[in-house]
């Protein structure tokens, strides 16, 4: 009887998790950008505004469903503090490099294509967590390298949102650095929330069984995000 109740509860949680992710993607996929009001405000700023840009960076990362889904996939099976610190650092270094250099060097890239790759990064982590990457044998990529490389694309995605809004003149470099600091603070807050949910979730019976549905949901969400941005790209070209 108890086993049947646990099984029912596991199915309910997995369905709720899948529904929440899909709903979140539907709502946020088109809003993970600086709002027009924020963009206009940023362009109107003259000189340094560290508080404003730190806040915008934190908000951008904490409300970015693509970043949060990827972090969830990366942290899903990590338990040791050392491993969590290593993977979080690799991701942080990766997206900091391309965020800063992408804006400073004014790299011209398609925001939709970059965001589609970010969506596929979520697919990759879900597939890896399901054991799919192991099927490649010795050709399987190193997980740490993959997290760093995808971190580069996540940072480049952030850079595409800022290009044309921040000038390196008249205090713009400080504003950009503050935005990046805000991104790191937002990521830290998101990481704490993600790990809190995962720790509580692991205490429930049948976590291993539920994890299959959860990572399948991550893959579905990643495909949705990638498809959405590829559609945007095809419409704009």
pLDDT class of 29 with cuts at 50, 70, 90: very low
Model pLDDT, residue 27: 46
Give the tokens for residue 6. 């646990």
Q: What is the pLDDT of residues 119-134, one digit of tens each?
A: 999 999 999 999 988 8
Residue pair 233/110 in contact (Cβ under 8 Å)? The answer is: yes
Other CB atoms within 10 A of residue 97 CB: 15
Give the tokens for residue 191. 């990481």
Q: What is the pLDDT of residues 110-164, one digit of tens each?
A: 888 999 999 999 999 999 999 988 888 888 888 999 999 999 999 998 888 787 7
Name which of 55-59, 70-74, 124-128, 171-175 the model is least confident about: 171-175
Residue pair 133/140 in contact (Cβ under 8 Å)? The answer is: yes
Q: How large is the angle between the packed helices 65-75 and 111-129, nearest 10 degrees?
A: 20
Q: In angstroms, rounded to a whole number, what is the distance separating the alpha carbons of residues 99 and 152?
A: 8
Burial class (CB in 10 A: 0-12, 13-18, 19+), 79: exposed
User: Which uninterrupted H or E stretch holds 64?
Assistant: none
Mapped onto helix, strand or coil, the DSSP state of residue 178 is helix
Residue pair 35/43 in contact (Cβ under 8 Å)? The answer is: no
Name the residue among 187, 219, 222, 229 with its Cα closest to residue 30.
Answer: 229
Q: Model-level pTM?
A: 0.81
Model pLDDT, residue 30: 46
Q: In angstroms, rounded to a whole number, what is the distance separating the alpha carbons of residues 200 and 183?
A: 26
């Amino acid at each position: 009887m108890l086993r049947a109740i646990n099984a029912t509860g596991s199915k309910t949680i997995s369905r709720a998790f899948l529904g929440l992710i899909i709903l979140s993607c539907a709502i946020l996929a088109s809003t993970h950008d600086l709002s027009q009001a924020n963009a206009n405000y940023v362009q109107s700023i003259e000189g340094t505004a560290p508080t404003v840009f730190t806040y915008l960076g934190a908000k951008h990362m904490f409300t970015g469903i693509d970043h949060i889904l990827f972090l969830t996939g990366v942290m899903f099976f990590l338990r040791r503090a050392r491993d969590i610190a290593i993977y979080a650092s690799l991701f942080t270094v990766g997206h900091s490099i391309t965020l800063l250099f992408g804006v400073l060097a004014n790299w011209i890239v398609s925001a939709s294509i970059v965001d589609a790759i970010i969506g596929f990064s979520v697919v990759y982590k879900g597939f890896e967590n399901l054991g799919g990457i192991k099927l490649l044998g010795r050709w399987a990529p190193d997980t740490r390298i993959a997290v760093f490389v995808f971190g580069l694309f996540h940072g480049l995605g952030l850079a595409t949102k800022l290009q044309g809004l921040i000038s390196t003149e008249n205090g713009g470099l400080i504003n950009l650095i503050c935005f990046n600091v805000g991104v790191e603070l937002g990521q830290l807050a998101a990481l704490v929330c993600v790990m809190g949910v995962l720790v509580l979730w692991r205490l429930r019976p049948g976590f291993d069984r539920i994890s299959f549905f959860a990572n399948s949901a991550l893959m579905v969400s990643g495909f949705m995000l990638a498809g959405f941005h590829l559609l945007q790209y095809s419409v704009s070209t």
